[in-house]
Structure 1
Amino acid sequence: MDRDWLDGYSMQNLSNHWIFDPFKVLLTSEQVDFWIIHLNGFALDFSIGFFLIYNRTRPYALCVLCLFHITNSRLFTIGMFPYVCLATMPIFCDANWPRKVLKIFSASKSAVKDNDQDKKCTTSLLPAEANRAKQKVKKLKGAPTYTLKIGWKHKVVGFLLISHIGLQAFLPYSHFITKGYNNWTNGLYGYSWDMMVHTWDTVMAVVKVVDHETGQEHFLDPEAWVQTDRWEKHADMLIQYAQCLKSNLLNGVSTNDYRLSKNISIYVDIWCSLNGRFQQRMFDPRVDLLTADWSPIKEVSWLMPLLTEFSSWRKQITKLEKEIYSWSEYSDVIFVADFPGNLQGIQIILYLIFIFLSVFHKGKVIPWHN
Structure 2
Amino acid sequence: MTQADEQHATASQPSASWRQRLWEPCDSASVVFFRVAFASMALWHIGLVLTSGWIDYYFTNRPYHLSFFGFEWVQALGGTGMWRIHLLMGLAALGVGLGAFYRLSAILFFVTFTYTLLAEAALYQNHYYLMSLLAFLFILIPAHRSFSVDALVFPDKASPFLPNWCRWSLMFLIALPYFYGGIAKLNGDWLQAMPMGIWIPQKTHIPIIGPYLAQPWVAWALSYGGLVLDLTIVPLLLWRRTRLFAYLAVVIFHLMNSVLFKIDIFPWTMILLTTIFFAPDWPRKLLRRPSLKIPKAAITASHTPSLLQRATLGIVGIFVVWQLIFPLRHYVYPGNALWTEEGQNFAWRMMLHNKDVFIRFYATDGVTGKIVQIPVSKMLTQRQLLDIAKSPEQTAAVARFLAEGATKAGLQKVEIHAVSILSLNGRKPQLIFDPDLDLLTVERSWKHQSWITPLTEPLRAEPWDVPSKEWPQAVGIKLPKAMIPQQRAPTAR
In structure 2, how many angstroms separate the alpha carbons of the residues matched to 1:195 and 1:83?
17
1:179-208: per-residue Cα shift (whole Å, max 9, x none)? Answer: 899672464232123211122111x11111
Whether contact under 8 Å (1:10, 1:197) holds in the other structure is yes
Shift of 1:149: 2.5
- Of 203, 206, 209, which aligns to 1:22? 209
Structure label with greater radius of gyration: 1
Residue 298 of structure 1 corresponds to 447
Trace 1:138-153 onto structure 2 (pairs within 5 A): 148-153=303-308
Residue 431 of structure 2 corresponds to 281
Q: Which amino acid aligns with 1:156?
A: A
Residue 244 of structure 1 corresponds to 401
- Of 367, 382, 389, which aligns to 1:213? 367
Trace 1:218-367 onto structure 2 (pairs within 5 A): 218-227=372-381, 228=383, 229-251=386-408, 253=409, 260-290=410-440, 292-308=441-457, 310-311=458-459, 314-315=460-461, 317-318=462-463, 338=475, 344-345=477-478
Q: Which amino acid aligns with 1:173?
A: L
Residue 159 of structure 1 corresponds to 314
**Cα distance, 1:298–1:46 mapped onto 2, change above 3 Å:** closer
Whether contact under 8 Å (2:281, 2:291) holds in the other structure is no
Q: Which amino acid aligns with 2:321?
A: G
Q: Which amino acid aligns with 1:82?
A: P
Q: Which amino acid aligns with 1:284?
A: D
1:31 matched to 2:217? The reply is yes
RMSD value, Cα = 3.5
Q: Which amino acid aligns with 1:345?
A: K
Shift of 1:158: 2.4
Shift of 1:213: 2.7
In structure 2, how many angstroms separate the alpha carbons of the residues matched to 1:334 and 1:2?
27
Shift of 1:100: 2.4
Shift of 1:159: 1.8
Q: Which amino acid aligns with 2:443?
A: W
In structure 1, how many angstroms separate the alpha carbons of the residues matched to 2:470 and 2:391?
26
Higher helix share: 2
In structure 1, how many angstroms separate the alpha carbons of the residues matched to 2:348 and 2:474?
29
Shift of 1:241: 0.8
Whether contact under 8 Å (1:181, 1:236) holds in the other structure is no
1:73-107: per-residue Cα shift (whole Å, max 9, x none)? Answer: 3333433322321221220111221222223xxxx
Whether contact under 8 Å (1:181, 1:234) holds in the other structure is no
**Cα distance, 1:302–1:87 mapped onto 2, change above 3 Å:** same
Q: Work out the percentage of aligned pairs sharing the same amino acid.
A: 25
Whether contact under 8 Å (1:272, 1:282) holds in the other structure is yes
| 3-state DSSP of counterpart to 2:356 | strand
Shift of 1:280: 0.4
Whether contact under 8 Å (1:180, 1:296) holds in the other structure is no
| 3-state DSSP of counterpart to 1:88 | helix
Trace 1:108-147 onto structure 2 (pairs within 5 A): 112=289, 114-115=290-291
**More deviation, 235-244/51-60:** 51-60
Shift of 1:285: 0.5
Whether contact under 8 Å (2:422, 2:431) holds in the other structure is yes
Whether contact under 8 Å (2:254, 2:270) holds in the other structure is yes
| 3-state DSSP of counterpart to 1:245 | helix
In structure 2, how many angstroms separate the alpha carbons of the residues matched to 1:188 and 1:293?
18
**Cα distance, 1:207–1:28 mapped onto 2, change above 3 Å:** closer
In structure 1, how many angstroms separate the alpha carbons of the residues matched to 2:364 and 2:273?
53
Trace 1:56-71 onto structure 2 (pairs within 5 A): 56-71=241-256
1:151-184: per-residue Cα shift (whole Å, max 9, x none)? Answer: 4323312221111011111111224667899672
In structure 2, how many angstroms separate the alpha carbons of the residues matched to 1:167 and 1:287?
36
TM-score calculated relative to the size of structure 2 = 0.51
In structure 1, how many angstroms separate the alpha carbons of the residues matched to 2:335 and 2:401?
20
Residue 285 of structure 2 corresponds to 100
Which ranges of structure 1 fall in alignment gaps of 5 or more residues? Answer: 104-111, 119-139, 254-259, 325-329, 348-370
**Cα distance, 1:223–1:116 mapped onto 2, change above 3 Å:** closer
1:53-79: per-residue Cα shift (whole Å, max 9, x none)? Answer: 233332232222112222323333433
**More deviation, 169-178/269-278:** 169-178
| 3-state DSSP of counterpart to 1:154 | helix
**More deviation, 217-226/268-277:** 217-226
In structure 2, how many angstroms separate the alpha carbons of the residues matched to 1:270 and 1:164?
38
In structure 1, how many angstroms separate the alpha carbons of the residues matched to 2:250 and 2:404?
48
In structure 2, how many angstroms separate the alpha carbons of the residues matched to 1:147 and 1:89?
27
Instruction: Pick 1 or 2: higher relative contact order, CA cutoff 8 A, min separation 6.
Output: 2
Count of residues in correspondence between the two structures: 285
Q: Which amino acid aligns with 1:184?
A: W
In structure 1, how many angstroms separate the alpha carbons of the residues matched to 2:207 and 2:191?
19
1:9 matched to 2:194? The reply is yes
Residue 356 of structure 2 corresponds to 201
In structure 2, how many angstroms separate the alpha carbons of the residues matched to 1:289 and 1:244?
11
Trace 1:81-100 onto structure 2 (pairs within 5 A): 81-100=266-285
1:101-120: per-residue Cα shift (whole Å, max 9, x none)? Answer: 223xxxxxxxx4x34859xx
Shift of 1:14: 2.5
Which ranges of structure 2 fall in alignment gaps of 5 or more residues? Answer: 1-185, 481-493
In structure 1, how many angstroms separate the alpha carbons of the residues matched to 2:338 and 2:219?
26
- Of 172, 175, 185, which aligns to 2:327? 172
Shift of 1:216: 1.8
